[in-house]
Structure 1
């Protein structure tokens, strides 16, 4: 009986498996239809064009008469989009784009760029794809010509940016750069490199952005252009910071500091020194010998800021020093620096900062079981908290905690 039942169950499983296979085969997805042809390549005559005239042979006068009508198509499409009819809007824009081709590649690319930006913002991926394909077709035609049309190439690059195709944009800008370098057009070289740098940065390609701005820095240095040299160093400092390239960041910030000192422009030095110190502090996790450089730069940041009466920056540098001292067990130095921090926050009229400084002093004394000193610090903190009407209960709790510990 059990044997017969087993045979029946086995047969049922085989039948079910076979049926599933048959069903799966019968439900096998059909091959997707070929992607529909681009509406930008539609060959049906446009109502604005006479069927008796070859569109490619329109005279300048006829094109001039046609231009306002094409402009109206753009306005009509914008109106359709404003009322939410995206389908109708892009149908009209596609008509406009087909007609713009009659006015030459530059006019067409500029229109493709404009509509491409709208398509991307409307999340119309299909339209973005059509426009990108058309831009690539125009690009091939342009590059097949013996003479390079720089204005057209730049417009192509901008259009690719508008449809968010950075690699295609950079391919075009590479060609522009090669051409202007061949022409030894320094201004055009700089403009092109700046554009390429912005594209790299927009897409978070920090290594290529750094390479581009290094080239710009080299040009500015060779020309003795200190203004742009500083601007490029600032860009590089930002890039290296974002890329966590600590040593490169230190090198770049140090060059900036040297320039500021040589120009007697010391107002930026405290922030630069703090940034340098922060990088050394990060590197010191792998190489503890670099902690000395971190201390040195935080101290220089504080002293420079104090001399310049930049007490907010001085306070920030002092706080970083205190944290670093405490992490290294240099508690006496941390306490001494905390007292200076109170003075810096007083000079900056930063009552909240003063309150926090007293809290910090109190916590350090509390850790050392120096209760009278801790109590005095927390009481000063409470006075400020009462003035600010902020964290009063916290300081009251700290005072109670110290009082119990002091019994």
Structure 2
């Protein structure tokens, strides 16, 4: 038999156990890590006709829906302008949910419109929602999806700054256009791809695309486009630090300009010389090409009375001569530069030329001519109210 003490202990243990169970905190459900995409919500909307099942909307119903959605867009814009961003994007999301009933193009254009606003205002979550919807639509595209839909999809990706996805779609369009030309030409698609590469500083891929465009323009004899693509290529190669490639393109441009627009040749020659300067660092044997192109730039510019451009070429030559220790040649070139700047009435350039001559005479330890050059420079500096202290200090230093 159980005695009374045993029963008491057992009862106490049961109470303790029961109380501990009752006191245990209830587990709350773990919330989703990411909220659901509001564009994908399927809750019935009052703007949609009820009791229709899966039947498509009639033409009249589509018109009425389009008008209602345009009104929602205006309402969202008003809210946004008043500072109610949450209300604005809630309204835009409702519009976007319903736009799909008007077809892919209408929805994609709206996604791009709202996506660009979201990106410009650093609404990252909203950009994510729209990008997810774009990706879902892309997965639903098939081999015979119309070009207008694909183009709208690519533009939508551009608006939310998803260049890789946009390029992927444009590549799909490019393949279609090459097989069967449609509303977009091959050149239009390639230009869109090139612009995307450029906007994200992918100069290597941009160059490849512009080379394709150059080939098309050359084959068709489109002179204006050919020049434009050569200019783009020259810029791309310069940005990519590929001077050899840039020189090839610049020489092609120089050949075209010599026939059609000779006034542009000196500028091209200066650009070519600058590219050769970069190559000289690793290949000193190319130094004559630097001198040659700067000299040609000066000669052509002088003959065309482009004195400012001629002065620019001479300034470059002086700097090169000086870097090579050819002080006498630098001084002779500086004298020609002075004459050029005087004709051009470029007082700032004239002041800089006297400054350069003062430094060159100082290098040569010709104190008298150095001081004379600095004094001439100081006279102009006083007129320009610029760098007076520099010239004064140099004169005092050499005079002491």
TM-score by length of 2: 0.89
Q: Distance in 2 between matches of 1:348 and 1:192?
A: 45
Residue 320 of structure 1 and its aligned partner are, at CA, apart by: 0.7
Mapped to 2, the partners of 1:126 and 1:387 lie a distance apart of 58
Taking the TM superposition and a 5 Å limit, the aligned residue runs for 1:367-382 are 367-382=363-378
By how many angstroms is 1:186 displaced?
A: 11
Q: Does 1:296 align with 2:292?
A: yes
Q: Distance in 1 between matches of 2:54 and 2:333?
A: 81
> Which residue number corresponds to residue 305 of structure 1?
301
Structure 2 equivalent of residue 215 of structure 1: 212
**Aligned mates of 1:365, 1:34 — CA distance in 2:** 74
Q: Which residue of 1 aligns with 2:345?
A: 349
Displacement after TM superposition at 1:55 (Å) = 6.3
SS in 1 for 2:69: helix
Q: Alignment RMSD, CA only?
A: 1.7
Q: Structure 2: give runs of 5+ residues left out of the alignment.
A: 1-28
1:174 corresponds, among 171, 174, 193, to: 171
1:281 is the counterpart of 2:277: yes
What is residue 229 of structure 1 aligned with on the other side?
Answer: 226
Question: CA–CA distance in 2 between the matches of 1:35 and 1:401?
Answer: 71
Q: CA deviation at 1:32?
A: 7.6
Q: Are 1:257 and 2:254 counterparts?
A: yes
CA distance in 1, matches of 2:113, 2:307: 49
Give the match for residue 159 of structure 1: 156
The 10-residue stretch of structure 1 (232-241 or 177-186) with the greater mean CA deviation from structure 2: 177-186
The CA distance in 2 between the partners of 1:375 and 1:254, in whole Å, is 43
Q: 1:317 aligns with which of 313, 318, 336?
A: 313
Distance 1:32 1:47 in 2: 29
> Given the superposition, is the C-alpha separation of residues 31 and 286 from structure 1 closer, same or farther in structure 2, using an over 3 Å criterion?
farther
Give me the whole-angstrom Cα distance separating, in 1, the residues matched to 2:51 and 2:200.
49
Aligned to 1:240: 237
**Structure 1: distance between partners of 2:252 and 2:83:** 54
Q: Give, in angstroms, the shift of residue 397 of structure 1.
A: 2.7
Deviation at 1:318, TM superposition (A): 0.7
Task: Work out the CA distance in 2 between the residues paired with 1:311 and 1:32.
Answer: 73
Please tell me whether the aligned partners of residues 310 and 340 of structure 2 are also in contact (alpha carbons under 8 angstroms): yes
- Rounded to whole Å, the distance in 1 between the matches of 2:383 and 2:57 is 81
Q: Contact 1:274 / 1:301 at 8 angstroms: preserved in 2?
A: yes
SS of equivalent residue, structure 1 residue 322: helix
Q: Deviations over 1:94-152 (max 9, x none)?
A: 11011111111111111111111111112111111111111111122222xx5230011
- C-alpha contact (below 8 Å) 2:266/2:296 kept by paired residues: yes
Corresponding residue for 2:21? Answer: none
Provide the C-alpha distance between the structure 1 equivalents of 2:192 and 2:94, rounded to a whole number of angstroms. 31
Q: CA deviation at 1:289?
A: 0.2
CA contact (8 A) 2:327 2:364 kept: no
Cα distance in structure 2, aligned partners of 1:125 and 1:403? 66
Structure 2 SS opposite 1:57 = coil
Could you tell me which of 386, 393, 397 is aligned with 1:397?
Answer: 393
Query: Structure 1 residues 47, 55: CA separation in 2 closer, same or farther (over 3 Å shift)?
Result: farther
Separation of aligned partners in 1, 2:300 and 2:394: 35
Normalising to structure 1: TM-score of the pair? 0.88
Deviation at 1:213, TM superposition (A): 0.3
1:136 equivalent to 2:132? Answer no
Q: Secondary structure at the match of 1:40?
A: helix
Q: Mark the structure with the bigger radius of gyration.
A: 2
